[in-house]
Amino acid sequence: MQNLSATIYCPNPDCQVANSELHSTCQKCGTRLPKVYLWAVWDGLEAGKPGDLLAGRYCFKSNQIVLDTQPGLVPEATENLPPKAETYLRLSPHQLHLPQVYAILKQSHPRIPGDVLLLDAAHLIRETESGLQLLPMLQSSWESASELRQLNWLWQMASLWQPLNVEGVAASLLSPDVLRVDGSLVRLVELRSDRTPPTLSKLGQLWRSWVPTAQPAIREFLDELCQQIIAGSIYSSEQLASLLDRGLEIAGKPQIRQVTIATGSDRGPSRPSNEDACYPPSGTAKVVDAREMPLVIVCDGIGGHAGGEVASNLAIATLQQHLEPLLTGQTILEPAHVMAELEHAALATNDVISQRNDNELRQERQRMGTTLVMALATDYELYLTHVGDSRAYRITLSGCQQVTVDDDLASREVRLGYATYREALRHPGSGALVQALGMASSTLLHPSVQRFMVDDDCLFLLCSDGLSDNNRVEQSWQVELLPVLQGKVDLATAVSRLVAIANTQNGHDNVTVGLVHCRVTAASLPAPLSRELALPDPANTRQEAGFSSPTAPTKLLRPRRRVRVLPALLGLLTLGGVSGVAAYFLLAGQREVAETPTPSPLVSASPSPSVTPSASLAPANLPQSLLQVTPTSVSNQEATLTLPIASPLADNKTRSVRIPAGSILKVVRQTESRDGVLYTLKLCWVTPESSARQGVGQTGDEVTTDPAAIAAVVSSIAPSNLSPEQLAAAQQYCSPLPTESSPSTQPN
């Protein structure tokens, strides 16, 4: 409850006057006063009291809800992040469902010993007449939800199971008080660590308690599904999500959907030309039936004389060409296939632009590239494809949230667990792009493809950074976009206003905006779902794929985050853990880009000193193969990879990671150096009992090593020999997997 009014200090650095929390703007300078509400998490049973301050800055509004009274100041940096905080950071790609770390406080209150994590609760808390309220629990909202929404909530939970299980926090999905809902979205208030390894059977038991109040049309289907989970017939979260997809496909068909799209692009007041491009062409505003699969694309060109303009328009044309069979109904529309086609289109577009650069002998700053954000609407879904720092936002009556993650250094640092986002932004070069279309080989490009179930009215905003910079979307959505959902403003007018905001309040760049307005008329299923739909197909169990939580790209190899890409210099810099870049600045008006130093061996394997390697890895057969870390021949000792982390945003930051026996790695590439052949390995899976230990490597980490150094502690393994959980993790973090017909990779 919001019992006491706190004092908020004006965020304007030239003002900083104290204001009452009840005011929306500073009473002296008129600056907007942001209300930054946070969810406080700590070990112990002590409770905060309304009015108490944490660290002299964060005011308790209730037991765990606090208000930042100095929102204009960056939270104090923390030298050593606690393991719990690192878990939140590594799960940052799932920010649509999970709160993100805002600040970490140490010894901040006499009654609360130890660290306090402050989680950004902007999308978890609502201001009501009676005070501040958390979102309703899923369990309490279940009975009144439609059949499509009930299935949608379960599908999101199934999609989150694997990434949370890898981090040792899948118990969060078994805690009803943690599970909240914001319309069609499932959101978690906080993460709960696993005391014992959780199982899908426990998830099935929780779901079964909801079956009696499920909508009648899906009740038998859910009952059978839960029985299959509890019995162990459904043994992976991917398989579970695929079975839920069967129900979603049928439940979504009766819904009537109308999609309105509009686009606008402008060169802005400061640029001589417009290097942005969009599809449909700027000025388009039309209503489309969702069955026609409307497509909206925004590209922001980069580099060289006229290069950015060429690259962005070439991307639009190439994407249209590659997606034509999908858009004209010449191919199947199963989610896995659609997502694969979208990823393939992005990779093909990358190759076309890269080849154009090579054909025109474009070097360094003259090379061209482009960002990409693309929305494709289908019957009951919307797919987003993303590369670079152009963004997509999802707007509903209750809020606005960025749903893509910028491909820049700051976001990469967060995902690797090195820093909070606000802390990472303080470092020079934090906004440099680590990937964009056309800048490097497609083997180094990892587009993200996201899938959203649309069961209620919503609005998707796609835009270049000419609009999104300086938080203009977050500041203006309630005035400019909320009226669209309320039927007070048409889409074309909203696009024009957003372009005007970009030009007058930013004005430093071109601006391009695309809006996709989805309107849904609910309808009930004409007949109940068959129980047989919930029965797994043994023949296809291991091949089912294509599920993705709204922020978790299915075909994504641990996405890299935002910066701007320098022509010809973007590539793979092995910086101890993951592909990285060194920030580089172009001449005035150009974007930041990335350099690629010559790779050097940063990793060495350390088996037992008494072990003499008796095998070597075969260079001709090894790339793209899977390896499993095995106990040494002398003892059951774990293989240890010493991994120095050379973060471009934090000088001299190093750590040593352990790769436990049983872990799965993929050889992703082979390179030549002065020291001979080197291999880059990606960690695909770590045993759940080891993943939560401090110092253990995390899925998605990449290391470079001499193959001879690890020959004694690894052996090859085929995908068919992986367990269901291993296979699911490998498909998420190390796709594509080698085929069974691939040459043998057994050490010789």
pLDDT tens digits for range 682-701: 888 887 766 655 557 777 77
Helices (H), 360-425: 409-415, 421-424
Q: Check pLDDT > 60 for residue 204.
A: yes
- For residues 261 and 515, is the Cβ–Cβ distance under 8 A? yes
Lowest mean pLDDT: which of 105-114, 356-365, 455-464? 105-114
Higher-confidence residue: 213 or 617?
213
The token duo for 743 is: 């040459």
DSSP H helix total and E strand total for the chain:
17, 38
CA angle 639, 640, 641 (to 5 degrees): 125
What is the mean predicted confidence (pLDDT) over 335-360? 95
The predicted pLDDT at position 598 comes to: 29
The predicted pLDDT at position 647 comes to: 52
The predicted pLDDT at position 741 comes to: 47
pLDDT tens across 503-548, in order?
Answer: 999 999 999 999 999 999 988 888 999 988 888 875 444 433 333 4
The predicted pLDDT at position 580 comes to: 30
- For residues 368 and 303, is the Cβ–Cβ distance under 8 A? yes
pLDDT tens across 302-333, in order?
Answer: 986 578 999 999 999 999 999 999 998 866 68
Sign of CA dihedral 270, 273, 276, 278: positive
d(CA 401, CA 667): 36
User: CB 635: neighbour CB atoms within 10 A?
Assistant: 11
Q: At 657, which amino acid appears?
A: V
The predicted pLDDT at position 78 comes to: 82
Q: Check pLDDT > 90 for residue 738.
A: no
* Closest-CA residue to 436 (of 266, 307, 326): 307
The predicted pLDDT at position 702 comes to: 77
For the chain, percent of residues with pLDDT exceeding 90: 56
pTM for the full predicted model: 0.77
pLDDT tens across 468-509, in order?
Answer: 999 999 999 999 999 999 999 999 999 999 999 999 999 999
Q: At 255, which amino acid appears?
A: Q
* Closest-CA residue to 450 (of 394, 415, 403): 403
What is the mean predicted confidence (pLDDT) over 413-430? 90
Beta strands in 338-425 (DSSP E): 369-370, 372-377, 381-387, 391-396, 399-402, 407-408
Per CATH, is 258-405+442-521 categorized as 3.60.40.10? yes
- Answer left, alpha or beta for residue 746, where phi above 0 means left and psi between -120 and 50 means alpha: beta
Lowest mean pLDDT: which of 20-29, 344-353, 732-741? 732-741
Cβ-Cβ contacts under 8 Å for 212 (sequence gap 6 or more): 219
Task: State the greatest distance between any 2 C-alpha atoms of the chain, in Å, as a whole number.
Answer: 76
pLDDT tens across 240-288, in order?
Answer: 999 999 999 999 988 888 999 999 999 999 999 999 999 999 999 999 9
Band the pLDDT of 23: cuts 50, 70, 90.
Answer: very high
For tokens 């793209």, what's the residue? 624
Give the chain's mean pLDDT: 82
Residue ranges, CATH 3.60.40.10, the chain: 258-405+442-521
For tokens 């009676």, what's the residue? 130
